[in-house]
Structure 1
């Protein structure tokens, strides 16, 4: 019987750290020659930070070809957990000391998370019908920044991302179907010649995930032990482990998300961080998720009272759907967020810890201005009843289910 020839990807033989780095080198050697200008889509998280620092170390040590230009784009959602953002700022200083261009990308004022909710009155996002946040505060601003920067480049640009197998089952399924797209070979990373859903970027940009094959333990090994050493770049990446929960980050398979993420079932990332002594003064942040849940309640929102025709002439599927936040709810939410911010920053100053910025001065002013201007989301004029108002049920076909008892009779 012919003996089975094992590979790096067999269940019985797992990649070692040096082998992972070798495959990353092969990936970069395969594609850098065709893309003299490279850019990084950096989130500040563990995978994208490992990708950024590994690739730059390989460039600096001559293990791969030095690109003509390097640009790093960091998405500032204004919702990053404080330890993670603090670590990112340290790394930005080190990037700029190396002469690498860093652009911090942010959504326009009226589309920022807090302004959109508390100023424009759009309800907090949810996983069912209103998941607007990731695209609006992260993806769109990043793509706009890249598109603006493309005018400075000759030819195509290689966008390097921190996508890695194992982080998401849905993402892995997508990778599994497309890892060989556009001529990529196994072991050369996830290479695509176009950036999906990228508006004006098609034909000008390709993406490569050179750490696609890295195990999560290798990511932590690099961040905590290799990258901080002078021979591997002297990066301040050990602070990333602190942002994910300190020494236990790897063991708990830690992941982070936005502060008080309304889409998460539990505030796992924040709970993990608060176990670290240095960050326990951030405890008041626990109050944000309950606020978002409260603002979804009917008494804080308007609702449509009957049949509604949309701009295309069709009838809305949910004639009495709940909608935007009332002005009173927005001001209540603003006061709660500002109180949380004030409490934390008072502790931060007394403990000599980093302060936070949930809502800065300009954002607060814009929120109050939008409320004063009586701003409502498109399709709403403010004359609608609050969503806790008892009324006859209207169906999409126009049928009406009358109330069994009027408010006067029930009283």
Structure 2
């Protein structure tokens, strides 16, 4: 029997028994529980599961803080869906007396994606220089947790079987001292974080099962979610019953992502009728090619070593110009005024640095009208 066929024999997990098990854990938590929410199927299933627990436990349930990290370069369709979901979720929680607060966090200004690229000249991320994940996705969450006095408790939708790297990480952080298999511990420096992984052993079918069976909160719209996954994968049927192949292959993230060679999810969404994504996808493809042209890079790196360095001032000006054009086409702000000011501040530092100027002839002879229109911080 083929391996794929064997997976179909895996018994369905009793979701209502899982609610009871998670309730027992929640009763022992004295601090608010932060829930990492991306709007995808896994984090949505976690929210539905915790909502059911809150319904049962009432005041014995710790406050739930639903936190979404807006990298400011999220896929616009997904970003709009998530923020709409959060607004509806907050209203529904208020109406039902459930202690939930929804928050949106963002990267620090100096770590922003285009502040890094235009202000500092960072090349767009690659597999060997993947600076974006830590800067714009992980770091904001760490800072958010670091602002709290209590030992952080975080609920996440991580599951075994998603990737070998993810499985190794989950195994590494298992808490042998805990009586529950759903609790893990992470330590960074002197700070400890406790992780609640309520769907750690779920298969994809189990995730869609809980999304469909648990009707509340209504803010988690499973039909819309399934449609996004269907349109993003280009091969998933509508869910009518659990014999259908579940939606799972779509992977949503930043519209600027140049780590992958081809952004299949974006291509599939565009082919499914999300035409508003086309200009973003076109820019992303242009930026990936622009990065690879040695004429757009300084002759040495910032540490003085020879080799492709940061984008030249001229190249950064061209990228900035393309973004302004993109803003006009999409009617969306991509770089706000505060970010523009900080970008100018960083560029002026380079223009006054003789070591930098030695590796970037364009900085001495170029004309940069868009930068001159910026207001200094």
Give the TM-score band, short-chain normalised: 0.7 to 0.9
The answer for the alignment partner of 1:201 in structure 2 is: 191
Post-superposition offset of 1:200: 5.3
User: How far apart in 2 are the matches of 1:320 and 1:39?
Assistant: 45
Q: What is the Cα deviation at residue 183 of structure 1?
A: 2.6
Matched, 1:192 2:184: yes
2:350 paired residue number = 374
Aligned residue in 1 for 2:240: none
Q: Deviations over 1:304-343 (max 9, x none)?
A: 39xx9x6xxxxx8xx4122111111011111112222321
CA–CA distance in structure 2, aligned partners of residues 376 and 48 of structure 1: 47
Give 2:241's aligned residue. none
Q: CA deviation at 1:181?
A: 3.4
RMSD of aligned residue pairs (Cα, Å): 3.0
Q: Which residue of 1 aligns with 2:118?
A: 118
Residue 233 (structure 1) aligned with residue 233 (structure 2): no
Which residue in 2 is equivalent to 1:44? 39
Q: What is the Cα deviation at residue 132 of structure 1?
A: 0.9
1:11 Cα shift? Answer: 5.1
Q: Name which one, 1 or 2, has greater alpha-carbon Rg.
A: 1
1:362 aligns with 2:338: yes
Q: Deviations over 1:41-79 (max 9, x none)?
A: 22232211221232123312x068842322122111112
**Does the 8 Å contact 2:313/2:360 carry over to 1?**
no
SS at structure 2 position matched to 1:59 = helix
2:106 alignment counterpart? 106
What is the Cα deviation at residue 165 of structure 1? 1.7
TM-score normalized with structure 2 length:
0.79
Whole-Å separation in 2 of the counterparts to 1:184 and 1:333: 53
- SS of equivalent to 1:384: coil
Q: Residue 22 of structure 2 aligns to a residue in which SS?
A: helix
The answer as to whether partners of 1:51 and 1:210 remain within 8 angstroms in 2 is yes
Cα pair distance change 1:323/1:184, threshold 3 Å? farther
CA distance change for structure 1 residues 243 and 34 in 2, over 3 Å: closer, same or farther? Answer: same
Q: Structure 2: how far apart are the matches of 1:375 and 1:163?
A: 45
Map residues 15-26 of structure 1 onto 2, 5 A cutoff.
15-16=11-12, 19-22=13-16, 24-26=18-20
Matched pairs, number: 337
Contact 2:35–2:156 (8 Å) recurs in 1: yes
Match among 50, 58, 64 for residue 70 of structure 1 = 64
Does the 8 A contact of 1:84 with 1:240 survive in 2?
A: no
Superposition deviation, residue 13 in structure 1: 3.5
How far off its partner does 1:219 sit? 2.4
Residues 45, 11 of structure 1: alpha-carbon distance in 2 compared, 3 angstrom cutoff: closer
Query: How has the CA–CA distance of structure 1 residues 11 and 271 changed in structure 2, closer, same or farther, with 3 Å as cutoff?
Result: closer
Provide Cα deviations, 1:70-102, integer angstroms capped at 9, x if missing partner.
Answer: 212211111211121111112211332224222
Larger proportion of helix: 2
Distance 1:65 1:177, change over 3 A: farther
Relative to the length of structure 1, the TM-score reads 0.73
- 1:226-285 per-residue CA deviation (whole Å, 9 max, x = no partner) reads 45x4xx2212433333433448554562111211311112111211211222x2222112
Q: Is residue 2:201 matched to residue 1:213?
A: yes
- Give, in whole Å, the separation in 1 of the partners of 2:248 and 2:139: 31
Counterpart CA distance in 1 for 2:138 and 2:78 is 19
Residue 386 (structure 1) shift: 6.5
1:55 aligns with 2:43: no
Structure 2: 5+ residue stretches without partners: 1-5, 95-99, 237-245, 363-377
Paired with 1:162 and 1:363, the residues of 2 have a C-alpha distance of 32
Q: 1:332 aligns with which of 293, 296, 318?
A: 318
> Contact 2:42 / 2:207 at 8 angstroms: preserved in 1?
yes
